[in-house]
Structure 1
Amino acid sequence: MSRLYPTVLLCAYGFFSNLRPLEPFLTAFLLGHDKNLTETEVVNEIYPIWTYSYLLLLFPVFLATDYLCYKPVLVLQATSLVVTYAMLWRAQGTLAMQFLEFFFGLATAADVAYYSYIYSVVEPAQYQRMTGFCRSATLFGSAAGCLTGQLLLSVAKAKLLHLVYVTLASAAVAFVAPWFLPGPKRSLFFHRSPGVAEDEQQGGGKPSLEKPEDVEVRAPLNAKTSAVSGPPEAGTQDVGLVRVLKILFEDFVQCYRCRPLLAWSLWWALATCGYFQIVNYAQPLWETVRPSQDYDIYNGYVETLSTLFGALAALLAGCLPTSWSLWGELLLCVLSLLMAVCVFVMDLLGNIWVCYASYVLFRTTYMLLITVATYQIAASLSMQRYALVFGVNTFVALLLQSLLTLVVVDSAGLGLNVFTQFLVYGVYFAVIAGIFLLAWAYKLASRRRSKQEVLMNGGTPPEAASPPAPASPPLLSI
């Protein structure tokens, strides 16, 4: 029961906070008679604010989440969502919509509190299951919201403004849940379990790494570093900001010395940057190809299908019998190239149904690869370093996205139209594919050179000396 109560509340919060029927039709709403904004104002002046806000708020919110022990930041996130949709209902003008995007950026940055709260109230053995519950709640909420919005438009013949009402009501329901969550007494960094502090004093806080320069060795980055080990009711030791920053820097150096982790993190950051751009600006592209003022649109069905197919792809990733240590870079290359093709098809063919199908395939491919990348990174990390590495990867992705937005989208930069933007994004994913093709070729050359050196020295090749690798453990839901 001690686990059931916060889990149910958190999942309910995740479901209703992501139940947003308006989201697939946001661009159509802003361009319609309710807001009467132009495409240039929406694409080049309003939407970029979310990217910049998310980037600027991510690290401060991460530290505040840990220092305040999660619950206050969850309340702040819920409040930000209510403010966002209340402004969408009542506010008018470009400046008001830019403030709206800032509040939504704050709510997005606060997702770290949602996904890390559960780790402070359950045992480490329950992390995987509870993470799966929380992630599933958000996915089902998102899919249900998209489907609800489409059915209200297509079947009930509702207006777009009515979708704002439903979305705001859902945010108001979600606002209630965080207030009743139990307040944790410990956290990853500022309020730590006593056993962790003792381990750091005895071991210097620097767990050893076995040959981090060896591309085939996975560093034991999870040795005695979990800041959340021990029962929830155990005492805590407060840590100052300077000490926390020092711990973060030391862990950062240790983690990214591991070359396999660095490779997966590089793909994570590069692909997530491009993925955010495609998802953020797909609606303006669809609106240009098939204006909602003149035709029926089916964005809700498309978002629902892409979310559900993405969830199925995430499940499929756990069943793939692939040797990721050998073929990972090549598969990242091939599937990144497939994503590039999807973007080019969306941009060049100018057919709404082809756009929809390419978008679904693009999101499904990304969900498959990001799940594999998540597992490959998380399998060798403690929960403390798990939060750090994924936070750093997300920050780098947002930094790249902000630069891309500033140059390509923002009216202060080139301010390109949406078709030219997608041409740039297609080239971007093609470059990612090229990077990992070179990485795979380099890995093969390094393997061949190492094998030749071993044979010349009269030794046994690593493949013959080592027993077969065990099957991959089950996928970590995230």
Structure 2
Amino acid sequence: MSVLFPTLLLCGYGFFSSLRPLEPFLTAFLLGPDKNLTETQVVNEIYPIWTYSYLVLLFPIFLATDFLRYKPVLVLQATSYVVTYVMLWKAQGKLAMQLLEFIFGLATASDVAYYSYIYSVVEPEHYQRLTGYCRSVTLCGAAAGGLIGQLLLSFAKTPLVHLVIITLASLCVASVFPWFLPMPKRSLFFHNSSRSVDNSGASPGEKSEEEKEIKVPLNTDHFSSMSVSTEPQSQSISLSKVLRTLFSDFLQCYRCRPLLAWSLWWALATCGHFQIVNYTQVLWENVRPSSDYVIYNGYVEMLSTLAGALAALLAGCLPVSWSMWGELVLCMLSLLMAACVFIMDLLGNIWSSYGCYICFRATYMLLITVATYQIAANLSMQRFALVFGVNTFVALLLQSLLTLVVVDSVGLELDIFTQFFIYGAYFSVIAVIFFFAWLFKVTSRRRCEKEALANGHAETSAESESSPCSNVS
């Protein structure tokens, strides 16, 4: 029951907070008569605020989540979602929508609390299963939201403002769940419930359970001071000590070349994925305006979410030697993502654009799942949280720079078709980077094999010359 109760609450919160029927039609709503904003205002002045606020708030929310022990940040996230959609329903004008995007950025940055809360209340053997539950219900909620919105729009001819109200009702239901979550007694960094290694009851030749949980990506004996401690269980770590440990673990983790390669792809691809998801609706509005035609964004979002979930499930079944072919697979599938973006941009056909969007998101979900597994395989939970945060921060930093230059009114303020051409070129560059990374790895491995073979022949020759048997006639 101690595992079941918080899991059910988290799953309920994840489902209803993701059930947002308006989301596939947000751009159409902002450009329509209810808000009467121009495309330039929406694309170049309102949407970029989410990117900047997410970037600025990510690290403070990451620390606050651990210090406050998750639950208060989940309550803050639920409240932020409700405030966002209340403003979307009632507020008018560009400044109000910019403030709305900032609050939504706060809610998005608080996702770290949702995905890490479960690790503070259950034992490590339940991590994988319960993480799967939480991720599955959020995907189901997003898919259900897209389907409900599309059905109401297509068959009931429901005005978009009514979808705002339905989404707000769903978020109000979701906001109830965090209040009943049990307050964790520990967290990964500030409130670490460490056990003394000397008092663990293990024999000198055995590892304690705390030691077994710690995995380091390199062959070193470095242990984080957060992970093993002789201090009492109720210890509370200072901010300076947390920051020092985070920096030490950061240097330790990113010295591992495979982890660095997967993290690089994670950051680069996530940046591009955010841009595509954020501005695809604007592209569709230009290809097939919602004021003149029936649009099917809800079906597309539902199918892309389900395809992404299926791809994530299949990721663990692929018979690929990632240590040998990882960079080449990243190259080829990044090239496929680039092709999808170019087709969406250049053909000007809504059906091909819908199909390529589904393919793009499924490919991304496949690779990000593999990247997550490859990174997490040799990391403790503390270090995985750090690497996840750093990769996301780098992705947001790149996205902010890309948005500032390409989208923002302060920068070039390019039209949506030129933007998507640049995004296609961006994924092509990612493919080129990992093609050369694969070539470098292959040549380095062959050089090492030749050197090892040459050294082996030299040692064999030396042994045969010095062997007493060689002097026997």
Provide the rounded CA distance (Å) in 2 between the counterparts of 1:198 and 1:428.
53
Task: Tell me which amino acid in the other structure corresponds to 1:389.
Answer: V
Contact 2:194 2:227 in 1 (8 A): no
Contact 1:192 1:238 in 2 (8 A): yes
Q: Within 5 Å, which residues of 2 pair with 1:26-425?
A: 26-195=26-195, 219=218, 235-425=233-423
Provide the rounded CA distance (Å) in 2 between the counterparts of 1:333 and 1:387.
26
Cα distance change, pair 288–365 in 1 and its aligned pair in 2 (3 A): same
Identity fraction in percent: 74
Contact 1:190 1:244 in 2 (8 A): yes
Offset of residue 228 of structure 1 = 7.9
Provide the rounded CA distance (Å) in 1 between the counterparts of 2:97 and 2:283.
20
Secondary structure of the residue that 2:157 maps to in structure 1?
coil
Structure 1 residue 4 corresponds to structure 2 residue 29 = no
Provide the rounded CA distance (Å) in 1 between the counterparts of 2:425 and 2:197.
48
Cα distance change, pair 352–145 in 1 and its aligned pair in 2 (3 A): same
Provide the rounded CA distance (Å) in 2 between the counterparts of 1:357 and 1:33.
29
Offset of residue 43 of structure 1 = 0.3
Task: Tell me which amino acid in the other structure corresponds to 1:424.
Answer: I
Cα distance change, pair 237–153 in 1 and its aligned pair in 2 (3 A): same
Deviation per CA, 1:394-448: give whole Å up to 9, x if none: 0000000000000000001000010000000000000000000000000000001
Cα distance change, pair 68–120 in 1 and its aligned pair in 2 (3 A): same
Contact 1:222 1:381 in 2 (8 A): no
Deviation per CA, 1:136-169: give whole Å up to 9, x if none: 1110110010111001101111110110000000
Offset of residue 227 of structure 1 = 5.9
Contact 2:226 2:245 in 1 (8 A): no
Provide the rounded CA distance (Å) in 2 between the counterparts of 1:255 and 1:111.
23
Secondary structure of the residue that 1:191 maps to in structure 2?
coil
Q: Within 5 Å, which residues of 2 pair with 1:438-449?
A: 438-449=436-447
Secondary structure of the residue that 1:396 maps to in structure 2?
helix
Contact 1:197 1:237 in 2 (8 A): no
Secondary structure of the residue that 2:195 maps to in structure 1?
helix
Task: Tell me which amino acid in the other structure corresponds to 2:344.
Answer: M
Task: Tell me which amino acid in the other structure corresponds to 2:51.
Answer: T
Secondary structure of the residue that 1:238 maps to in structure 2?
coil
Task: Tell me which amino acid in the other structure corresponds to 1:132.
Answer: G
Structure 1 residue 458 corresponds to structure 2 residue 451 = no
Provide the rounded CA distance (Å) in 2 between the counterparts of 1:119 and 1:97.
35
Contact 2:195 2:233 in 1 (8 A): no
Contact 2:224 2:249 in 1 (8 A): no
Offset of residue 219 of structure 1 = 2.6
Contact 2:224 2:245 in 1 (8 A): no
Secondary structure of the residue that 1:405 maps to in structure 2?
helix
Counterpart position of 1:466: none
Deviation per CA, 1:298-330: give whole Å up to 9, x if none: 000000000000000001101001000000000
Runs of 4+ that moved beyond 3 A: 196-199, 220-230
Offset of residue 226 of structure 1 = 10
What is the RMSD of the two structures over their aligned residues, measured on CA atoms? 2.0
Deviation per CA, 1:218-265: give whole Å up to 9, x if none: 5368986596899xxx93310000000001000000000000000000
Task: Tell me which amino acid in the other structure corresponds to 2:156.
Answer: A
Counterpart position of 1:475: none
Task: Tell me which amino acid in the other structure corresponds to 1:246.
Answer: R
Contact 2:194 2:228 in 1 (8 A): no
Provide the rounded CA distance (Å) in 1 between the counterparts of 2:360 and 2:59.
29
Q: When the two structures are aligned, how many residues end up with a matched partner?
A: 442
Secondary structure of the residue that 1:194 maps to in structure 2?
coil
Structure 1: runs of 5 or more not aligned: 200-206, 213-217, 461-478
Provide the rounded CA distance (Å) in 2 between the counterparts of 1:110 and 1:380.
26
Secondary structure of the residue that 1:237 maps to in structure 2?
coil
Contact 2:197 2:228 in 1 (8 A): no
Offset of residue 285 of structure 1 = 0.1
Task: Tell me which amino acid in the other structure corresponds to 1:30.
Answer: L
Provide the rounded CA distance (Å) in 2 between the counterparts of 1:229 and 1:88.
48
TM-score (norm. length: structure 1)? 0.90
Task: Tell me which amino acid in the other structure corresponds to 1:342.
Answer: C
TM-score (norm. length: structure 2)? 0.91
Moved more, 264-273 or 221-230: 221-230
Cα distance change, pair 297–96 in 1 and its aligned pair in 2 (3 A): same
Contact 1:313 1:364 in 2 (8 A): yes
Offset of residue 48 of structure 1 = 0.2
Contact 2:342 2:420 in 1 (8 A): yes
Provide the rounded CA distance (Å) in 2 between the counterparts of 1:332 and 1:447.
19
Counterpart position of 2:203: none
Contact 1:220 1:380 in 2 (8 A): no
Provide the rounded CA distance (Å) in 2 between the counterparts of 1:451 and 1:286.
52
Offset of residue 194 of structure 1 = 2.7
Secondary structure of the residue that 1:428 maps to in structure 2?
helix
Provide the rounded CA distance (Å) in 1 between the counterparts of 2:198 and 2:250.
21
Deviation per CA, 1:56-81: give whole Å up to 9, x if none: 00000000000000000000000000
